[in-house]
Amino acid sequence: MSGDDIVVLGRLADPYGIRGWIRLHPFGDDPLSWGKMPVWWLAQDGEPWREAALKGLKAHGDGLVAAFTDVTDRTAAEALKGCFVGAPREALPATGEDEFYWADLIGLAVVNTVGERLGVVAGLIETGANDVLRVVGDDGSERLLPFVAAVVLAVDQAGRRIRVEWESGW
């Protein structure tokens, strides 16, 4: 499966315990619903995606931990540290109104209320308080815009544009 078919959902972090569990850093809301998908796709940055059969997913403290069928000890879990977690789009639940997968926002043009093009969404950053759009301008400059209703006024996926309340000089 090509990387274009996969929606990135999160990233694996440090191992948890000695039985192969690993901490999950999700890039979105409701990651416990991903437990309904029997297969996840994993890849280190720049490598091809590979299937991983999910054995378990649970909340632990203020985070999440996951286990995979072929990962049975801490050493195997350590080898997964830093892997992106993804799934084919058709395996994901549909988004609600005003909900988006991060992958759907990347590449959209960002235009402010006076029609000035600020750039293109190159990525998102999760800060805990809110997500942040990483917008790269045509000149290579970078802006970080909070993905909150006061700033992001409209997301037009069909038109491939995000309208924001943000001045070009900010």
Whether residue 77 sits in one domain with residue 31: yes
Whether residue 87 sits in one domain with residue 8: yes
Whether residue 106 sits in one domain with residue 28: no
**Residues near 60 by beta carbon (within 8 Å), at least 6 away in sequence:** 16
Whether residue 134 sits in one domain with residue 86: no
- Domain of 153, CATH number, reads 2.30.30.240
In whole angstroms, give the CA distance from residue 136 to residue 107: 10
Buried/exposed 33-57: b ≥16 CB within 10 Å, e otherwise: ebeebeebbbbeeeeebeebebeeb
Last residue of a domain, one of 91, 110, 136: 91
Query: pLDDT digits over 90-124, tens only?
Result: 887 777 788 888 888 999 999 999 999 999 999 88
Whether residue 85 sits in one domain with residue 16: yes
Within-domain flag for 41: yes
Query: How confident is the model at residue 40, as a pLDDT?
Result: 94
Query: How confident is the model at residue 32, as a pLDDT?
Result: 85
Query: pLDDT digits over 2-38, tens only?
Result: 456 888 889 999 999 999 999 999 887 678 888 888 8
Query: pLDDT digits over 109-163, tens only?
Result: 999 999 999 999 998 887 878 889 999 999 999 999 999 999 999 999 999 999 9
Query: How confident is the model at residue 4, as a pLDDT?
Result: 61
- pTM of the predicted model as reported, rounded to 2 decimal places: 0.68
Last residue of a domain, one of 40, 60, 91: 91
